[in-house]
Structure 1
Amino acid sequence: MIHIFKTNVETKPAIERLKSYLDQMDALAQWNFDLEDCDHILRIESKRAIGHLIINLLHENGFECQELID
């Protein structure tokens, strides 16, 4: 599954702050931020539905996050 999130993560230090949490999530195969995109997109490839977990994780770390659904 591919999940796409709109975030307010704007810097590499902010990504580094989240990296350890994201790397520890077994359900995630890959993840990356696109800071060039105006929506600061977080793309995640996962084995299952994890949208609510990612949103909670970012909120707990002081970031806004919304899953974009097509």
Structure 2
Amino acid sequence: MIEVFKTNVQEEWQCKIIIETLLEHFPNSSINFDLEDCDKILRIHAPTISNAKIIDVLNFHGYSCEVLP
């Protein structure tokens, strides 16, 4: 399963913190950001994904996050 999210993450160091946190919740997943994209894309490829949990993690760290259709 792959989900794509629009975020407001700007810096690589922010990505690293978020990815580490998300990997605690989704250990068997592949997670990356595309900061070059205007939507600051977050992609998660995992066997199971909880969109609500992902959005909660980013919100907890002070970032906006929404699922892209």
Normalised TM-score (structure 1): 0.87
**Would you say 1:8 and 2:8 are equivalent positions?**
yes
Q: How many residues align?
A: 69
Q: 1:49 to 1:26 in 2, by over 3 A?
A: closer
Gaps of 5+ in 1: none
Q: Paired residue for 2:44? A: 44
* Greater per-residue strand proportion: 1
Q: Paired residue for 1:58? A: 58
Identity score, percent = 38
Normalised TM-score (structure 2): 0.89
Deviation at 1:25, TM superposition (A): 2.1
1-structure distance, mates of 2:46, 2:16: 20
How big is the alpha-carbon RMSD for the aligned residues of Structure 1 and Structure 2?
1.4
Deviates more, 1:47-56 or 1:32-41: 47-56
After superposition, what is the alpha-carbon deviation per residue over 1:37-58, rounded to whole angstroms, capped at 9, x for unaligned?
0000000001123111100000
2-structure distance, mates of 1:51, 1:28: 16
SS of structure 2 residue aligned to 1:59: helix
Amino acid at match of 1:3: E
1-structure distance, mates of 2:40, 2:54: 15
After superposition, what is the alpha-carbon deviation per residue over 1:2-40, rounded to whole angstroms, capped at 9, x for unaligned?
100000001011112213202212355201000000000
